[in-house]
A and B are shown apart, each in its own frame.
Chain A
């Protein structure tokens, strides 16, 4: 995707200058800007996939973007089930995508 941040806007004005933030997602390094959520920063980096369905392994990205649908849940540090759409990136943050679980661990094991 080209020019992924909306710098100029005819009514909302110019996007203000913000500091850079470095974080990793599944061991890859990314740069986002202060005040961006994990979901926004990943999208701006051209990455839409945030997790795999625990059972089927089907890929998912953010869906509702306001904390209702839980589709964008990721692991931040040791914290599981973090909504990428509501969580701001921080310097050095380690984010991991939700993964498909080995078959014996099925439903109810995703907390």
Chain B
């Protein structure tokens, strides 16, 4: 198997060559790379691959890692049941 076919994001099965090709052609941020490839947008919210995606972006943009988290997090950060999700939040 070629190295470039390695899966980086396990949830969405995004490969290294998809990420590298996208990063090369758009010179984009982690956030944009994520939106373009879906890397880090799966069930684990990037907990497994975010550092890898950041590393690839850094290689291609040559920008230092920003202090703001490149791939943000959104609630809910854990799987919740439909009943919890449906609950109205009177606050």
Contact = CB atoms under 8 A, between A and B. Distances in A.
Contacts of B11: 70
B48 A56 contact: no
Interface residues of A, number: 19
Contact of A73 (B10, B43, B81): B43
A69 B48 contact: yes
B13 interface: yes
Nearest to B13: A56
Contacts, number: 33
B38 interface: yes
A64 B48 contact: yes
Question: Mostly helix, strand, loop or mixed at chain B's interface?
Answer: loop
Q: Is the interface of A mostly helix, strand, loop or mixed?
A: loop
23 contacts: A53-B13, A55-B13, A56-B13, A58-B13, A60-B10, A63-B10, A63-B48, A64-B48, A68-B44, A68-B47, A68-B48, A69-B44, A69-B48, A70-B11, A70-B44, A70-B79, A71-B10, A73-B79, A81-B43, A82-B79, A107-B12, A107-B38, A110-B43
Interface of A: 53, 55-56, 58, 60, 63-64, 68-71, 73, 79, 81-83, 107, 110-111
